[in-house]
Structure 1
Amino acid sequence: MFQRQALVIGNGNYKASPRKSCVNDANDMSVALRSIGFLTHCATDLNSYELERRTNRFAQSIEPNSLVVFYYSGLGVQYNDYNYLIPTDNAGINAESIKEDGINIENFVETLQNKAPRVVIVILDCCRPYRELGRLNPFFDRNTLGLLQGLAPVRPPPSTVIAYSSAEGTSSTRLIVKGRNSIFTHHLLRHITTPNVDIDTILKLVSWSVQQETRNRQIPIRYSNVYENIYLVNTGFNQNNLQWSYGMQLKQPIGEYERLSAKTYARLCSSSTSSSSSSSSSFT
């Protein structure tokens, strides 16, 4: 059994540009990950000191050969081709303050990988709009050299998956589903606890669902340097003397995997279509 560890952060109480759904996103994602056996730490509305402390403590807690998930909902920007998570006390006055106060995602992932986990999965729902409610977001000042909207593309290190809620250099829509979750996290919550589906397929389903519901206004993207089938939930079965344990399955027989994933994919796609047509969504 592999140790499964997760850090979930939701930053929404920004003085300059408050976010409506981020804390809900984080709380709901924390519940979902706990329900499938993750040792999950959840924190919300972190200032610069707390954000650095929480991420450092989590990185130090990583056990070798573990399955690690980091989920973040909040503001994020790119500066000089690096990506930063923004604490709630940063007002976005200038790029240097973001560089000093924010968490450099690439450096954080490298720190996680230095602890020798089996796999690191990073999910970032932080590609927030440049203009909202007729006002410019102070974190995306186009007059500041090197500070750009959306996140920059990344090259994940080995055994790492990085997922963005919106493609690099773009922002997500302001769609809030049922007044609670962002459109990306809404669909992630629907799929992430599904058994016997690998993480790559789950992220494909989320991306497909978001694109369908937003009519391609928001297109999630993922970067992967993982060449194994990674299952967050594996119910286990015994067929032809094959015994799989609950947890992360790394050496699943190809034939059985294709049979299971094809059926599951068809079922989930059908479910996504009906859900997209009936879900209640609003813009804030």
Structure 2
Amino acid sequence: MMVIPFPTYLHDGKWALVMSKGGNFGLQRWRKRTYFPEKEIDESWDDGYNITHLTYGNGTWVLILSKGSSQPAQLWRTRSYFPKDEINENWEKGYFITDLVYGDGKWALVMTKGTGYAKQVWRTREFYPKDEIKELWDQGYYITNLTYGNNLWALVMTKGSNYTQQWWRTRAYFPENEIKELWDKGAYISCLSQGAYENKADVPVVENKPPTIEITEPTVTRGFKVVKVPTTKVAGYARDDDGIASVQINGTTAEVNSSGYFYANVPLDDGENIIRVSATDKKGKTGYHSFTLQRSVNQDVVDVPVDVSQKRLALVIGNSAYEHGGTLKNPINDARAMKTALEKLGFTVMKCENCSQNDMKRTIDDFGSKLQNYDVGLFFYAGHGIQVNGENYLVPVDSKLEYERDVEYNCVQAGRVLGKMESAKSKINLIILDACRDNPFARSWSRSTSSKGLAFMNAPSGSLIAYATSPGNTASDGSGANGLYTSAILQFIGQSDLQIEDMFKKVRQKVISDSGGKQTPWESTSLTKDFYFSY
């Protein structure tokens, strides 16, 4: 069998697509995810599909799967380093490399049995491996994978690939003319990638400047500040064109995100404390910054609370004006009131009112992308919510749900929100669902489904999911300006020194009291750190 790698994403912002006839494939499917699609791979393997291409670009993994490719066994691995040991180990088991790509800080390797390959070699170089290609061509090998990532070219060459002749071209522009020229010679595209070309020995030396460091917390005047707490949060930005590899604060390794934002909690001694911050770029160059904190427990001084200024992002959605299910009075009011409250608590707030399905999906995806640069994510939804077969769905205002089967196609799965937040890798994720109201769409549905509230969802590590009422029950829209549940949250969310679990206990007590015991809010939590909305 001949395996032809699919072309990849080009770094100038374009996707390059090539489609061919005669590939011996029966059916194909594709999946696009902001996280590595391991679940989608496993599901497709179970359906009889095999990976025929994997690529990464513009923050997205793209997976192509095919039936009829006659591949009896496949495996994949992801590693933060080049996976040479994994390659060598699985070569011994009869697997051969069929895809190798770098994205999102990791190498992704796909190896397959039954390719018809006889022998393989790989090379990694910081420059385009033209000499290695020529040397291996002379030994009867052909290029079957060529990709660039993490400042390395990764070349895979194979015997037994059924190729009879090969050419390569490198250009600073997309090589459309060269493609046409070689098509005329009977050649077809088998690899396409983009990366650095020259050998470092041929490149003029450019000075590698150290990273710049900006301290945003604590605020320091003229390099000096007086505090009274035993521990303080030090945060800021480290910036460098080569990217930031690590930040150290008084010997403590700080957390660093992709935008260079860093933070760490630093213990303080009584008296003068010199805070030394160092940032190292991905080429090993280090920049330094220092300032002084004076800790005094005997003066009336400014307090710097610990971890009070995490970067916080919230998405608030309120759906009231349902086109086919009647109007709810409170969700828009709830969303607007929550937006105001969260902004006072340091959240940057995205808001969507009376959203269609397309609006909801796009807004949730945008929220997930932006959340990668934040420490805390919060999703609040007020409106209709439905469970079908144990799955929870948020109902857009344009949904027409005549039958249960319509829900999957016309609503938004709550798991979509969980997936986006988990992929963003923020430290704390909070989901609040005031979405358990009676189902107005269910006249033609089965009796067992029509009256159910939301189903229980397990909270992933570092997250909390809060429901307006217990699983399987419905909640009241309320008679005031806000729903019973949101009204209680608004009462307690700004209370100082109230840990989030304790805040929701107070919310539960109030809702039970105000509803006469008919409504009991519920939470699922796997938070690993304390969280306070307000200090």
TM-score category, normalised to shorter length: 0.7 to 0.9
TM-score, scaled relative to structure 1: 0.76
Aligned to 2:390: 81
1:6 maps onto 2:314 in alignment: yes
**SS of residue matched to 1:9:** strand
**SS of residue matched to 1:62:** helix
Aligned to 1:57: 366
| Structure 2: distance between partners of 1:216 and 1:173 | 12
| Consecutive unaligned residues in structure 1, runs of 5 or more | 131-136, 235-284
Taking a change above 3 Å as real, the CA distance of residues 174 and 107 of structure 1, as seen in their structure-2 partners, is closer
The code of the aligned residue for 1:170 comes to N
Aligned to 1:20: 329
TM-score, scaled relative to structure 2: 0.41
| Consecutive unaligned residues in structure 2, runs of 5 or more | 1-308
Counterpart among 169, 172, 175 of residue 475 in structure 2? 172
Q: Which has the larger Rg?
A: 2
Aligned to 1:190: 491
Aligned to 1:227: 528
Give 1:106 deviation, angstroms. Answer: 1.9
Aligned to 2:454: 151
When structure 1 is superposed on structure 2, of 29-38 and 63-72 the one drifting more is 63-72
Q: Which of the pair is proportionally richer in helix?
A: 1
Taking a change above 3 Å as real, the CA distance of residues 139 and 108 of structure 1, as seen in their structure-2 partners, is farther
Counterpart among 489, 511, 515 of residue 214 in structure 1? 515
Q: Which of the pair is proportionally richer in strand?
A: 2
The code of the aligned residue for 1:117 comes to S
| Structure 2: distance between partners of 1:140 and 1:106 | 26
**SS of residue matched to 2:491:** helix
Aligned to 1:45: 354
Residue 330 of structure 2 contacts residue 478 of structure 2 at CA under 8 Å; is this kept in 1? no
| Structure 1: distance between partners of 2:434 and 2:501 | 17
Give 1:73 deviation, angstroms. Answer: 0.2
1:107 maps onto 2:416 in alignment: yes
Q: Which has the higher contact order (CA 8 A, sep 6+)?
A: 1
Residue 140 of structure 1 contacts residue 148 of structure 1 at CA under 8 Å; is this kept in 2? no
Give 1:64 deviation, angstroms. Answer: 4.8
Aligned to 1:270: none
The code of the aligned residue for 1:157 comes to P
Give 1:97 deviation, angstroms. Answer: 2.2
Give 1:129 deviation, angstroms. Answer: 2.0
Aligned to 1:95: 404
Q: Give CA deviations for 1:140-161 in whole Å, capped at 9, x if unaligned.
A: 7542776662000111110110
| Structure 1: distance between partners of 2:448 and 2:518 | 26
Taking a change above 3 Å as real, the CA distance of residues 227 and 140 of structure 1, as seen in their structure-2 partners, is farther
Aligned to 1:36: 345
The code of the aligned residue for 1:196 comes to D
Percent identity of equivalent pairs: 24
